[in-house]
Amino acid sequence: MADPVVPMEVKHGSISWKYLPSVQLTLGKPIQDFQRYLLPMVGDEWATRQLASKSFDAGITNALYAVFDAEKGLKGSRDDVILLRINGNGTDILISRTDEAISLATLYKNGLSPPLYAQYSNGLCYGFNPGRHLSPIEFTDPKFMRLNARVLAKLHSVEVPTSFQGRPPLVWHKCDQWIEMAPQKFDDPVKQKYFEEGVASIAILRKELVEMKGILSECVSPIVFCHNDLLCGNFIYDEDKDNMNVIDFEYAGPNYMAYDIANHFCEFAGIDSVDYTLYPSEAVQREWLTCYLQETAIIKGQYPASVATEDAVTSLYREVNKFALSAHLFWTVWALIQAVHSAIDFNYAEYSGIRFAEYKRRKQEFLSL
């Protein structure tokens, strides 16, 4: 394999991206475009392979393809598979592609992300993490819970890149931007009906955001490097190595530690068929948070039992559930914008209402903790 691109630090501590190969390509035909334009970035040995491709349809933001050695298939090693992503229509107004590239390179240097090989006009070419997705139920298994908590503890221990430092927490930074982009109404009567029944108005949503920002900004949760989109599907379990990896860092950046955990717990409910009875119980959360605090202590060279005390777990439990409210608001606003711009077959207008309804249902319960 060719050496992956690692950004070079220059004066003032910033990161220069002029060294990241940029191909004048709008990816359309994965294998053909890969062979014609991207081979030099990933290694000449790919030129002699019989290639196959597969599209993945689990995402609701982008299109994703795997190009792989046909003889070995997708069960080959990480060196036998390359991923090609096509960014979702309109996602550049939601996601900073420069920030994403900085995040990927930072995490790769810390052993937490596959390598980044090239960018093209509508996406990225990057490495592959072998393994399988887990179901929400599996995340409550003590073995997987430990691996899950461990990889998040490692992620949250990564130093925030210099170019991200000084920014406000991502949840408020993005919500402040997005609420200004959110539609006041939809031309599509079906989407408008979902909007009226689910959210009612942007003014109402804005009021809730202002209130939550005021309340949660008083929390003591540290600002760390966060993933910010911890769907269950964004965790990959590698059975051969018995470890877990995280993928898809489009929204990565500095945020409240408690937000990242809270958002992950919210995502137990799923996306295609949302079921909030799957939101983890207090007992499950406490067990998970104990693992997380223990793993964080180990990374810092501390004695786990002295860190993961009953009081520490209780305090983090309260914070996490309060930040679950901000996660619901975050994805409510996001879904409204996607409902305008995305070409993916997903009912974003309905989803925004589902998230806002769960926010309202749990608001007083969580704030009273």
Model confidence over 108-140: pLDDT tens digits? Answer: 889 998 888 888 989 999 999 889 999 888 999
The pLDDT of residue 8: 37
289 vs 106, which has greater pLDDT? Answer: 289
Residue 297 CB-half CA count within 13 A: 15
pLDDT over 90 at 204, yes or no? yes
CATH of domain 138-367: 3.90.1200.10
- Taken in order 157, 158, 162, 167, the sign of the CA dihedral is negative
Q: What is the mean pLDDT of residues 163-182?
A: 95
Structure tokens at 337: 């914008």
The pLDDT of residue 116: 85
**How far is it, in rounded angstroms, from Cα 192 to Cα 183?**
10
Q: Over the chain, what is the mean pLDDT? A: 90
The pLDDT of residue 276: 97
* CA–CA–CA angle 276, 281, 283 (5° rounding): 170
**How far is it, in rounded angstroms, from Cα 13 to Cα 119?**
23
**How far is it, in rounded angstroms, from Cα 247 to Cα 199?**
31
- Of 81-85, 155-159, 262-266, the range with the lowest mean pLDDT is 81-85
Structure tokens at 274: 């949302």
234-256 pLDDT per residue, tens: 999 999 999 999 999 999 999 99
The pLDDT of residue 307: 96
CATH match of 8-126 with 3.30.200 = yes
The pLDDT of residue 40: 83
Percent of the chain with pLDDT over 90: 70
- Taken in order 246, 251, 253, 255, the sign of the CA dihedral is negative
CB 60 within 8 A of CB 344: yes
The pLDDT of residue 343: 86
pLDDT over 90 at 182, yes or no? yes
**Other beta carbons within 10 Å of 207:** 11
Torsional class of 266: left (φ above 0), alpha (ψ -120 to 50), beta (otherwise): alpha
The pLDDT of residue 196: 97
pLDDT over 80 at 294, yes or no? yes
**How far is it, in rounded angstroms, from Cα 194 to Cα 204?**
15
Q: What is the mean pLDDT of residues 259-277?
A: 96
**How far is it, in rounded angstroms, from Cα 72 to Cα 196?**
51
pTM of the model: 0.92
CB 261 within 8 A of CB 267: no
The pLDDT of residue 15: 37
Confidence of residue 16 (pLDDT cuts 50, 70, 90): very low
Indicate where the chain has its CATH 3.30.200 domain(s): 8-126
Indicate where the chain has its CATH 3.90.1200.10 domain(s): 138-367
